Structure formats: C-alpha cells, structure tokens
A and B are shown apart, each in its own frame.
Chain A
Amino acid sequence: MAASAAFDIELARELIDRRRSMPGAALPILHDLQDQFGYIDAAAVALLAEALNISRAEALGVVSFYHDFRRSPVNGRVLKMCRAESCQAMGCEELVAHLESRHGIHPDDRETGAGLHVETVYCLGNCALSPAALLDGEPFGRLDPDRLDAIVAGAKGQTQ
C-alpha cells in the first residue's frame, strides 16, 4: 500500500480524467493520486487545476489545506501515530520519546527514520485501546515500546 510508484504524468492525467466530472471532484482525485504515487506532484496540481477549471493557486490551496496530502514522496512505510488526548492519557508521548531516543525517528520529519515515516495524527477512533496507530492502514491498539520496535525493524528490513 505504501509502495508508491514513480510519478507518471500520463497516468496522473488518466486518474484525473476518470473523476473530473463528478461533483466536488478535487478530494477524490487527490486521494487517487496520492494512493498511486504516495504524494501529490506539482505537475499533477497543474493538471488538476486545468481539469477542474480553477486556478493553480486554488488547486494548491486545496492540497496544502489538508494534512493528508504530501507534496513530496515518502520512502518506505507510513506509521500514523495518534497523539490526541486519549492516547496521551495512555502514554503516547512516551512512545514518541522512545522512537526518538532508540531509533532516531522524529514524527513528521522526513529526514529521519530509514524505511519508516512517522506522522502525527489526532485520533484514529481506537481510543478504548489507546495508544493507537495505523501502519499503512493496518490498525494497532495497545501499542507499547516492544511492538513499536518490531514495526521499526519490519520497516527497515523491507527497505534493505
């Protein structure tokens, strides 16, 4: 799921054309592009603007408004870690500190973390089993340092 293909402008055009006529097409198209390439390439923003008959500034404004849309590729897997109140009450900040001290991975910092990009999210709706995370869409509950270590090791193993 995280394995993102290299950007291909023809494919991007195809994805945009597929949904351009649906009402309020911007978000569905952006999701398709990100699912395909792992991020929203600047060239795709221009195509999207043209297809939806909006200015590039408007299209970029939409992309930049939403936390989900990345503007540059991610190398490896994506772990979305919840850092909202329920997970705070169960020690998610200690898990973040563990990631930083043990693995040198800083959330939301693209430069750290071989094979594993950690993103901060606020709530995954798994609050009765906090701390919670999503690894490329796969849910984790009752996350602890050991399971986190295994996730990091698994992600590193894949990229080597």
Chain B
Amino acid sequence: MSARVFVPSDSSALSVGADAVASALAQEASVRGLEISIVRTGSRGLFWLEPLVEVETPEGRVGYGPAAADDAGSLFDGGFLAGGAHPKALGRIEDIPYLARQQRLVFARCGLIDPLSLDGYRRHGGLSGLTRALTLGPEATVEQVLASGLRGRGGAGFPTGIKWRTVAGAQADQKYVVCNADEGDSGTFADRMLMEGDPFLLIEGMAIAAVTVGATMGYVYIRSEYPHAFDVFSRAIERARAGGLLGRSVLGSGHAFDMEARLGAGAYICGEETSLLDSLEGKRGQVRAKPPLPAISGLFGKPTVINNVLSFASVPWILEHGAKAYADYGVGRSLGSQPFQLAGNVRYGGLIELAFGATIRELVEGFGGGTRSGRPIRAVQVGGPLGAYFPQRLLDTPLDYESMLAAKGMLGHGGIVVFDDSVDMARQARFALHFCAKESCGKCTPCRIGSIRGAETVDKIIAGRDRQKNVELLRDLCEVMTDGSLCALGGLTPLPVLSALDHFSEDFAKAPPRAAAE
C-alpha cells in the first residue's frame, strides 16, 4: 500500500501555496520512485501552520508545517512518510495543544477526510444523525432539537427548534429549507471551512430539517467572495444526489428532498435572512418587515426554515448523540459548542470550537498567543462589523450570548478580531458607520441616512469641531438607529461605535479642540 499524504485544499491553505506543495511532493515522490497517494482535505483550522502536510503512520496522523514547495526534498530526506524528523515536524496532529484543548463536535471531521467522498463521510460517522431522525420521525426530531438548546449560530441566537416546529406545523403545498451561507462578517470563516472541508455534514443537517418539516426543496445561498466553497459544495450536492442522500427518496425513506447552491453577488445585507430570501427570489436584497416570519411566509411566500450553516451542521451531532449530550456542553442558556474564529492581528489564528463559556482572553491569549506584531493587544472586536470592541480590562468577559449582551456586545457568528496598540479607534468607529452606509439596503431611514450622518459626525469629532456637542449628537443618533432600524445592520452598527466611544474616548480627542467655524 502506498503511503497516504494529506494536503488541504481549503482556500486559506491555497492562499499560501498548498497546491504548489502538493505538486512538489508528487514530483519528488516520482523522482525518487516512491508511490504515494495525496489526499486533498479541508483544513484543520490551524492556519498559521498552513500549508499543513499530514502523513498517516501507525501512531496516527503526523504533521509538518507550514510547508513550502521547497521543503519537498528535505521532507523525503527526513523520511516524513514514516513520520521522520524534520525542522517542521509537529508530531501527532491530535496532540497539538491548540487542537487537543478544543471540543470539536461540528468540526470533528474537517481536515481529516476527503470532503467529496461520501463513503469516507459515512466511514467517519456521517449520516448517523439523519438515520436516527428518520427512525424517530418528525415530532421526536423537533423535540431533540428543542431539548438540545441549539440557538441560531448566524448571530441572532434564536432557538432553532422553535423555527422548525413552526414550519412543521404550517400547512402549505410547498415548504423550503434555506441555508444562509452568506458569511459576510469580517473575522469569520467557519461556514467557508465547513463547506470546503465537510460539505456532506451541511447537506445532512439540511436533509434532517427537510424530512422533519416536510420540505422538498432546499437552497444554499453562498456568497460570491467564496468561489472555492461554492465549487466544492456544488460538487458535493451532485455526489449526494448520486449516493441517494438527496433526490426522490432520501436514504430510501420515501421523503423527497433536493437542493441547489446559489451564488450571492457581493451584498453584505443578504446575510440578513429576509434580504437573503428576496435575493434568492431574484430581487434586490432588501429587508422585509417582520411579521410575517419566514417560518410562515418565507421563500416565494411559502413556509421556510432558514438557518445558518453552523446551525444545520450542529443538528446531525445532536441527533446522533442525543439532545442531552449536546446540552451538557455550554453554560446557562448558551448550550452546546460554538466554533469561534480567531483572526486579525494574532499569532495563532484559526478555528476554535469550544463549549460556550470560555472568556475572550482565553481565546486571544490562551489560543491566539497575543498579537502577531508582538505589540500589546489594545482592542478585540467580537461578532463581526456589528460587534463591540472590547478593551483589555473587559477581556475576561465570557463568550456566551447573555454575557456578551450584558457587556453591550454580541456574540454574532463567533468571529474574534484582534488589534494591537497601533489601532485608532475613532477611525474604527468611523469605518463601522461607513460600512453600514455602503451596505445598507436603503429600506429604512435610520440605517440609510443615519449611517452617513454618523460618519460625518465622527469626522467632526476627530477634527475637534464642537467635540462635546457632536459626541452627544452621535450618541443620540446611535439611539435612533438602535431603536428605529428595520434589521440588525442599522440596529447594531451602534455597538462598535459606542464601544469605541465608551472604552477608547481618548482616540476621539487627539486633535486640538476647535469651535465650529462654518
């Protein structure tokens, strides 16, 4: 049997040369007359080690990274096919503390398997959740999802089981399951990794939703900034169809369910569920007023389950291991695990799946090892562009829904972006408003106009013009946006702005004060 070598084809790994590494290894093997088989996988999410080459040995998979194409010769010289020594040797992958300290429920297979092999997926425990759901039947499946405490991982944290129960109970000639894979928050990449590294898990989760609520068609709305994920996921759908996981009779159950991947077109707002539905319908991606809820009147006016990638992907584990096992992870009303994503100016950025309750500091210092620049951490933004900036003194805030809310922040999709002390927080506040202005769908006034006026007001504050008065005006405007916006874009943009004002006020007072001249 030829040695098995694993090289990720995750787009982050590709962005630092994984393809070149794979071809250099193949080339070197053929020069040496050695037979190896190179398996392309997703990423383990240890991105500072990418491209991370792994080899199967009797002791388990051992790693070498970050590998460069130039390393091919020395890897073979060192006998890496048998786990031999090399300056870039990392030992057994499972023993790397960054990975060993995680609770990987959703991401257990990501980076381990060939993402497009349905057999491989099955061999590694895949489809047990769907099989169990088919045995349990719709009502008991909804009960499992409810009892697990699973809340929407896209950011809003709405109980997934309640959405499902509502759609299951709705009467209609057609129902849909829609997956929100418009992962637009800066600092997040879990959806992308999962669609590239373990796409059948998402398909399985959506199939469970479909047979549970009685939907026959599904759509996965993937952002156009993820061309590679779209490609991998589309191929996975074809294979799932060929393998009987999708089609007229899901796993021979008699339930029909098929799905289609659709590409977004560069609009951040389409990550908002009602905008996404309008976009899927071929319209401008504008927010709908709620009610009616999508569960009652969603895609094309039909009852629709719409969930984030990670919400769907959590369900197979819950069904396989039971709601209680899932709810044993986490704290308070934040149950289960959350795939956090550590990014920005950080030494060890990556995917960290943990039970709820770890603190920001445990992630950015414990896992992240501080800043990549080596300078002190000054601010940490949690939850994407609509999330709050946390100063050093609040880094012990636990990462769960309620604690984040109490600290005037939000967990969002679990993205954590680290900034060192060179950051200018007034500029970050201005950016938040500028971003909102650029990405506003235009439907409601507080968001459409408020964001522009807000950015102008921050400019005045930065320039030192009537500072006190303009700070008051900005706070007032933030209140209007929070209370009066139709969706989270306008409603949460004040979080980064106000947190910057509250925790980093000195950055707004750098210019000497000036009276209003004009």
We find that the number of chain B residues with CB closer than 8 angstroms to chain A is: 64
- B322 at interface, CB cutoff 8 A: no
Q: Is the CB of A125 within 8 A of B16?
A: no
Q: Is the CB of B263 within 8 A of A127?
A: no
- How far in angstroms is the closest Cβ of chain A from B389? 9
Residues on A with C-beta less than 8 A from B351 are 128
- B224 at interface, CB cutoff 8 A: yes
Beyond A24-B300, A89-B423, A128-B350, 15 extra complex contacts between A and B, CB < 8 Å = A24-B282, A27-B262, A27-B263, A66-B265, A68-B224, A84-B385, A85-B344, A85-B381, A122-B268, A122-B439, A127-B344, A130-B343, A132-B15, A134-B225, A139-B11
Q: Is the CB of A127 within 8 A of B417?
A: yes
Residues on B with C-beta less than 8 A from A80 are 225
- How far in angstroms is the closest Cβ of chain B from A95? 14
- CB-defined A-B contacts under 8 Å, sample of 14: A65-B285, A65-B286, A66-B285, A67-B266, A84-B385, A85-B187, A85-B384, A85-B428, A122-B184, A123-B188, A128-B45, A128-B342, A130-B343, A139-B228
- A97 at interface, CB cutoff 8 A: no
Interface of A is mostly: mixed
- Pick the residue among A52, A65, A128, A140 that contacts B284 (CB under 8 A): A65
CA distance A121 to B45 in the complex (A): 23
- A69 at interface, CB cutoff 8 A: yes
Q: Is the CB of A84 within 8 A of B186?
A: yes
Q: Is the CB of B189 within 8 A of A30?
A: no
Chain A residue nearest in CB terms to B284: A65
Q: Is the CB of A89 within 8 A of B417?
A: yes
Q: Is the CB of A127 within 8 A of B349?
A: yes
A contact residues vs B (CB 8 Å cutoff): 23-28, 30-31, 52, 61-62, 65-69, 80, 82, 84-90, 121-130, 132, 134, 137-142
A-B pairs, 9 with minimum CB distance: A128-B349, A26-B282, A127-B343, A84-B186, A141-B15, A66-B265, A67-B266, A89-B344, A128-B47
Given the contacts A61-B284, A80-B225, A128-B342, A27 and B184 also touching, CB distance less than 8 Å = no
Q: Is the CB of B417 within 8 A of A134?
A: no
- B169 at interface, CB cutoff 8 A: no
- B345 at interface, CB cutoff 8 A: yes
Q: Is the CB of B265 within 8 A of A142?
A: no
Residues on A with C-beta less than 8 A from B264 are 27, 66, 68
Given the contacts A121-B225, A129-B47, A90 and B345 also touching, CB distance less than 8 Å = yes
- Total contacts A-B at CB 8 Å: 158
Q: Is the CB of A127 within 8 A of B282?
A: no
- How far in angstroms is the closest Cβ of chain B from A89? 4
Residues on B with C-beta less than 8 A from A90 are 344-345, 372
Q: Is the CB of B189 within 8 A of A125?
A: yes
- Pick the residue among B12, B263, B280, B343 that contacts A139 (CB under 8 A): B12
Chain A residue nearest in CB terms to B219: A24
Q: Is the CB of B187 within 8 A of A129?
A: no
Q: Is the CB of B16 within 8 A of A128?
A: no
Q: Is the CB of B227 within 8 A of A68?
A: no
Q: Is the CB of A121 within 8 A of B266?
A: yes
Chain B 8-40: CB-based contact to A (< 8 A → 1; otherwise 0):
000110111000000000000000000000000
Residues on A with C-beta less than 8 A from B11 are 125-126, 139
CA distance A125 to B188 in the complex (A): 6
Q: Is the CB of B186 within 8 A of A86?
A: yes
- Pick the residue among A69, A122, A137 that contacts B265 (CB under 8 A): A69
- B283 at interface, CB cutoff 8 A: yes
Q: Is the CB of A85 within 8 A of B417?
A: yes
Q: Is the CB of A127 within 8 A of B415?
A: yes
Residues on A with C-beta less than 8 A from B142 are none
Q: Is the CB of B281 within 8 A of A24?
A: yes
CA distance A24 to B221 in the complex (A): 12
> Max chain A CB contacts within 10 Å: which of B50, B265, B266?
B265
CA distance A129 to B342 in the complex (A): 10
Chain B residue nearest in CB terms to A22: B260
CA distance A129 to B50 in the complex (A): 9
- Pick the residue among B284, B286, B300 that contacts A23 (CB under 8 A): B300
CA distance A76 to B431 in the complex (A): 30
Chain A residue nearest in CB terms to B346: A128
CA distance A62 to B275 in the complex (A): 13
Q: Is the CB of B282 within 8 A of A25?
A: yes
Q: Is the CB of B15 within 8 A of A127?
A: no
CA distance A138 to B9 in the complex (A): 12
- How far in angstroms is the closest Cβ of chain A from B486? 16
Residues on B with C-beta less than 8 A from A24 are 262, 280-282, 300
- Pick the residue among A23, A62, A123, A139 that contacts B185 (CB under 8 A): A123
Given the contacts A26-B282, A128-B48, A128-B341, A66 and B266 also touching, CB distance less than 8 Å = yes
> Max chain B CB contacts within 10 Å: which of A86, A124, A129, A138?
A86
Q: Is the CB of B262 within 8 A of A28?
A: yes
- B311 at interface, CB cutoff 8 A: no
